[in-house]
């Protein structure tokens, strides 16, 4: 015997499956919402990237020699300068090679207005960037249980297999300074983690994967970004 | 216009219509969406609030407002732009009958 479902139940089931069209007179539309940048730049500013403090090179001593080859400060500044000159209208001014930071703590750096004013005058920049970078590489290994089918008797067994991976963590705090006044404009922190399914994966490749993931967030400090969102509009 | 994504044109028309029918919640909602699409979050917030005032139980308006509030709050927390006061949290939208 076929029982008829009540209309309300049918509608609820269809709604759950996402099959019910919107009511007549309403439609859903996608908006691209602007996200204004953290820093109100006109786009024509001259920006210069001062050295960044390097918090630690690695958390795994056995890999220290290999990671020591990565000059994290230089790599990050080169990447950031390239990103800013390509993707913003700002002019990236070269930082003199002999510039040394006056402190090894971020708070002291942020409060050293006279130093930044002097550096601003020397470089002719409107904005200065500095901060702290940290890149950690962790080799991990452990056992996991998996099923396998024996080629001898065709039965399924469980076995322990060794799993090795390399974890990359990149952490950066970006401090922006008004080069004319030496005042701190903002301090933003970004972090990205990646994991590669083998031991001792290439550090440089890991570092740049982290950096590419953070690209949008870093650019969001200086340029308008967009975010997609759905809204209902009445006809 | 809104369906085609011509939001500045749509906004112009919604504003004209809302001037003629200021108590129409659907028009206030559309106006709010158009303000959002053109980046004017302050006026979008005002229009959503007006729409909710006129039709507090309207599901689509409540949903729009909830989504707007999420975007707006996230933007404010990140320090991106928004200069109007934060919207008040709204209860979850009622299920569509």
User: Taking CB atoms and an 8 Å cutoff, what residues of chain A touch B40?
Assistant: none
Find the residue in B nearest to A231 (Cα).
B64
Which of B37, B60, B80 is the closest to A35 by Cβ? B80
Is residue A212 within 8 A of residue A204, CB to CB? The reply is: no
Please tell me the predicted confidence (pLDDT) of residue A201. 66
For the segment A118-144, the average pLDDT, to the nearest whole number, is: 89
Say if the Cβ atoms of B75 and A229 lie within 8 Å: no
Please tell me the predicted confidence (pLDDT) of residue B2. 76
CA distance A222 to A104: 26
Please tell me the predicted confidence (pLDDT) of residue B78. 57
Please tell me the predicted confidence (pLDDT) of residue B62. 94
User: Taking CB atoms and an 8 Å cutoff, what residues of chain A touch B96?
Assistant: 15, 20, 23
- Whether ipTM > 0.85 holds is no
Say if the Cβ atoms of B61 and A15 lie within 8 Å: no
Please tell me the predicted confidence (pLDDT) of residue A56. 67
Please tell me the predicted confidence (pLDDT) of residue A1. 42
Find the residue in B nearest to A188 (Cα).
B78
pLDDT-derived band of residue A200, with 50, 70 and 90 as boundaries? Answer: low
pLDDT-derived band of residue A9, with 50, 70 and 90 as boundaries? Answer: very low
pLDDT-derived band of residue A67, with 50, 70 and 90 as boundaries? Answer: low
Please tell me the predicted confidence (pLDDT) of residue B81. 44
Whole-prediction pTM value?
Answer: 0.62
Say if the Cβ atoms of A234 and B36 lie within 8 Å: no
DSSP letter assigned to residue B79: T
- According to DSSP H, which parts of B4-86 are helical? 7-20, 25-37, 41-54, 59-77
Say if the Cβ atoms of B3 and A29 lie within 8 Å: yes
A22-31, A125-134, A172-181: lowest mean pLDDT where? Answer: A22-31
CA distance A224 to A32: 12
Exposure on the CB side of residue A34, measured as CA atoms within 13 A: 15
Nearest Cα to Cα of residue A130 among A92, A90, A174: A174
- A:27-86 residues touching chain B, CB 8 A cutoff: 27, 29, 31-38
Is residue A128 within 8 A of residue A177, CB to CB? The reply is: yes
Say if the Cβ atoms of B36 and A35 lie within 8 Å: no
Write out pLDDT tens, residues A133-156. 998 888 777 888 888 888 888 899
Please tell me the predicted confidence (pLDDT) of residue A19. 35
Query: What is the residue whose two structure tokens read 């024996």?
Result: A150
State how far residue A178 is from chain B, nearest Cα, in angstroms. 18
Please tell me the predicted confidence (pLDDT) of residue A39. 79
Is residue A143 within 8 A of residue A160, CB to CB? The reply is: yes
Reading the block at residue B76, the tokens are 């404010």
User: Residue A59: is its pLDDT beyond 80?
Assistant: no
Please tell me the predicted confidence (pLDDT) of residue A6. 53
CA distance A46 to A29: 39
């Amino acid at each position: 015997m076929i029982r008829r479902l009540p209309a309300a139940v049918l509608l609820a089931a269809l709604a759950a499956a996402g099959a019910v069209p919107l009511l007549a007179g309403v439609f859903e539309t996608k908006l691209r919402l602007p996200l204004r940048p953290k820093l109100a730049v006109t786009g024509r500013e001259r920006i210069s990237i001062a050295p960044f403090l390097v918090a630690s090179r690695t958390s795994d001593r056995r890999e220290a020699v290999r990671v020591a080859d990565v000059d994290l400060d230089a790599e990050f500044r080169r990447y950031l300068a390239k990103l800013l000159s390509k993707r913003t209208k700002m002019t990236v001014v070269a930082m003199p090679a002999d510039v040394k930071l006056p402190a090894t703590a971020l708070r002291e750096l942020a409060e050293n207005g006279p130093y930044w004013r002097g550096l601003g005058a020397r470089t002719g920049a409107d904005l200065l960037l500095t901060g702290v970078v940290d890149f950690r590489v962790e080799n991990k290994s452990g056992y996991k249980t998996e099923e396998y089918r024996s080629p001898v008797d065709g039965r399924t067994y469980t076995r322990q297999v060794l799993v090795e991976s390399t974890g990359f963590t990149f952490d950066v705090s970006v401090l922006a300074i008004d080069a004319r006044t030496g005042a701190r404009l903002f301090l933003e922190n970004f972090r990205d983690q990646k994991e590669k399914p083998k031991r001792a994966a290439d550090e440089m490749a890991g570092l740049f994967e982290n950096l590419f993931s953070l690209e949008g967030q870093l650019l969001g400090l200086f340029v308008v970004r967009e975010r997609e969102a759905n809204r209902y509009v009445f006809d | 216009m809104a369906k085609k994504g011509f939001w500045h044109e749509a906004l112009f028309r919604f504003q004209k219509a809302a001037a003629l029918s200021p108590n129409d919640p659907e028009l206030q909602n559309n106006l709010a969406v158009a303000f959002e699409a053109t980046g004017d979050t302050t006026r979008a917030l005002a229009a959503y609030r007006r729409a909710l005032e006129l039709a507090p139980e309207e599901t689509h308006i409540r949903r729009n407002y909830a989504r707007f509030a999420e975007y707006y709050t996230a933007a404010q927390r990140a320090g991106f732009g928004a200069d109007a006061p934060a919207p008040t949290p709204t209860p979850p939208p009622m299920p569509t009958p």
